[in-house]
């Protein structure tokens, strides 16, 4: 469960819209599950969906494959939703890298199916989850006006989803928003990541050597802040923009991440690759537009987020 469960604490700016009945797609995934938990904690009327095998293992979850338009349309039609939070997608470039066509069908095709169903059944607000990976292999500072430069089929599929969203908004009046989320971490993530492997090794007392340069920038976003970003977008009354960066803003060098982890576990060594000033990556993914228009501001410092994640991993290791 996220840390934003006080019903007296509103999201975003004052005077926002009511959520009404909410559909969460991909509710068995990392972000989707956290959103469902937060919505339940606040007493919202929520319908959760995911693919068949996942949905069958979670009480109350409805099977719905986002690549199946007829099924998506039926769920949206029957639900009379005021808000759709679309998290049903491949969650990162490390997932299914050898299945590019499936990545495209799920990410680009799935979002289009959701948007079409929202158009047909007049859903007042759709929030879709894109990624900062659309900026690709760049350096310096980027914001929402920066030209995308995707470096993977995953990033390209997410960018295509953004373009579909803009088309449905401009041509068909669908009130939709895309969020460029950076690298989400925290308790509950199931897909493998470099950070997860590093922390598990550290907790077990093993030294690690990372393939990334010491000065390469990272953009870790705690799951609580990711949930906050989605909810700010869902409850914003009106926005002048339709695409927002949901990030911590400034990047953190990998060496600083390693130092933080070694500070939590003295005696364990974490080494990084040699510095590479020519390829440090993006130094800042500006989030000021999200602050101005939807009231988003990250709250979880990296050291605090890593402490929470390590505590959760330690608990799991003891089971």
**pLDDT tens digits, residue range 254-312?**
999 999 999 999 999 999 988 887 778 999 999 999 999 999 999 999 999 999 999 99
3-state secondary structure of 63: strand
> Mind listing the domains of the chain with CATH numbers?
22-187+220-251+281-300 (3.40.50.720)
Q: What are 152-202's pLDDT values in tens digits?
A: 999 999 999 999 999 999 999 999 999 999 999 999 988 888 999 999 999
Arithmetic mean of pLDDT, 61-77: 97
- Band of pLDDT at residue 6, cut at 50, 70 and 90: very low
pLDDT band at 3 (very low <50, low <70, confident <90, very high): very low
Task: Quote the pLDDT of residue 318.
Answer: 62
Distance CA 304, CA 232 (A): 22
Cβ count within 10 A of residue 181? 23
Tell me the CA distances in angstroms from 237 to 4, 13, 65, 227, 293, one per residue in order. Answer: 20, 9, 30, 18, 9
Count the neighbouring beta carbons within 10 Å of the beta carbon of residue 192.
Answer: 11
């Amino acid at each position: 469960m996220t840390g934003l469960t006080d019903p007296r604490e509103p999201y975003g700016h004052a005077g926002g819209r009511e959520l009404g009945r909410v559909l969460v797609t991909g509710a068995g995934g990392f972000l989707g599950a956290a959103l469902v938990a937060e919505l339940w904690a606040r007493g919202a009327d929520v319908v959760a969906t995911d693919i068949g095998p996942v949905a069958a293992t979670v009480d109350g979850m409805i099977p719905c494959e986002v690549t199946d338009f007829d099924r998506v349309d039926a769920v949206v039609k029957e639900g009379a939703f005021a808000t759709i939070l679309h998290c049903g997608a491949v969650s990162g470039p490390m997932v299914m890298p050898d299945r590019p066509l499936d990545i495209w069908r799920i990410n680009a095709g799935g979002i289009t199916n959701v948007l079409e169903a929202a158009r047909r059944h007049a859903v007042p607000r759709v929030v879709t989850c894109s990624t900062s990976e659309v900026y690709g292999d760049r350096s310096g500072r980027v914001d929402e006006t920066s030209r995308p430069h995707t470096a993977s089929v995953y990033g390209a599929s997410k960018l295509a989803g953004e373009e579909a969203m803009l088309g449905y908004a401009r041509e068909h009046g669908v009130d939709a928003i895309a969020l460029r989320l950076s690298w989400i971490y925290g308790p509950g993530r199931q897909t493998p990541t470099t950070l997860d492997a590093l922390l598990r090794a550290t907790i077990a007392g093993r030294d690690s050597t990372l393939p990334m340069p010491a000065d390469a920038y990272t953009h870790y976003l705690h799951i609580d802040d990711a949930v906050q970003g989605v909810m700010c977008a869902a409850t914003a009354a009106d926005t002048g923009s339709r695409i927002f960066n949901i990030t911590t803003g400034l990047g953190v060098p990998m060496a600083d991440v390693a130092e933080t982890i070694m500070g939590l576990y003295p005696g364990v060594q974490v080494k990084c690759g040699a510095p590479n000033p020519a390829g440090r990556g993006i130094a800042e993914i500006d989030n000021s537009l999200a602050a101005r228009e939807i009231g988003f501001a990250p709250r979880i410092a990296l050291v605090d987020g890593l402490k929470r994640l390590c505590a959760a991993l330690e608990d799991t290791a003891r089971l």
